[in-house]
Amino acid sequence: MQAERKNRLLRLLSDHVCQVRRDVILARYTSFRIGGPADIFVEPHSLAELQAVVGLVRAEGLPLFVLGGGSNLLISDAGIRGVVVKLGKGFNYSRWSESGADRIARRVRVGAGRSLGRFVREAVAKGYAGVTFAEGIPGSVGGGLLMNAGAFGGELSQVVEMIRGVDRAARVVCLSARQLGFGYRRTALPPDFIVAEIGFRLSPQEPARLGTVMRRAQTRRRTSQPHGSPNAGSVFKNPPGAYAGRLIELAGLKGARCGKAQVSEQHANFILNTGGARAAEVKRLMEHVQRTVWAAHQVWLEPELRLVGDWEQGRGGPGPAVHASEKGP
């Protein structure tokens, strides 16, 4: 974005939103710890501020990207052009309805900026089931909704009742679960719709039993998934009737590297940032995995990881080299 236009938009946004900055490095906001700068970075704290941001940015004809908890995505080294919105503290809440005498169900409205893990633990402590599967899934509740986060046979779509957010015309709109078009690791929202709040309907269960289920989920994640190096979670979706991690492992790709990016030795469907990895290295390694798995199994792995930002800069020369694991297949 040209400096003059950037400064003008900064002035306009600052009249309506408290927190507006320019040229913010996004790596610190992602679980991968990878990502270049945002031209403009905005943190609205209310629906009114969010509406103002959407209205101004659309009027300027600029792209707008909403950054949730920073998991499940890879931001390019060149960063993101236009405006990046990260929901502020005003969207970090959970509001529980009064429990009925029969305790058949309990409704709760959760801000899209709230940590998914925090919401799960809160539900368990109150004695409500439906989201224990999500313990350990990183990111925000809003981000979990967008990818229909799931694990161990559960998905958020099973307990979502409605959402509220801001549409491309800067209007506040409510949508029922039937209007959301849930699928495997996806949610079909109207174009440019920004989720601000999610309504859940949860069923009661004994807190002790829920605690046991949650601890089992925690144990499964600790023993099967890598820890200690930044990553963005599962890189590829599971193809029908198979597991992406197993196909990658059988193709001999555990430990494969591209620069500072490495396929995990513990779980092959994770790529690790071993220290200073660039987005271009991760992307190159993902493409190598796709080609190798196709050659070995005739299965093309579809990314679960979202690639966002400006990927045009830096093209033209040869990409970074991919190296096999030192341990071999």
Query: Where in the sequence numbering do the catalytic residues fall?
Result: 185, 234, 304
Residue with tokens 């994770």: 270
Are 272 and 262 in contact, with CB atoms under 8 Å apart?
yes
CA-CA distance, 290 to 181, in Å (whole number)? Answer: 28
CA-CA distance, 124 to 134, in Å (whole number)? Answer: 11
Q: What is the CA radius of gyration of the chain?
A: 21
- CA dihedral (77, 237, 87, 226) positive or negative: negative
Residue with tokens 């071993």: 274
Are 32 and 271 in contact, with CB atoms under 8 Å apart?
no
Secondary structure element (H or E) that encloses residue 204, with its range: strand 194-204
Return the structure tokens found at 262.
């490495």
Helix runs in the chain, H state only: 3-14, 47-60, 116-126, 141-146, 207-224, 244-250, 279-297
- Is 107 exposed, middle or buried (CB count within 10 Å of its CB: 0-12, 13-18, 19+)? middle
H and E: helices and strands count for the chain: 7, 19
CA-CA distance, 270 to 247, in Å (whole number)? Answer: 13
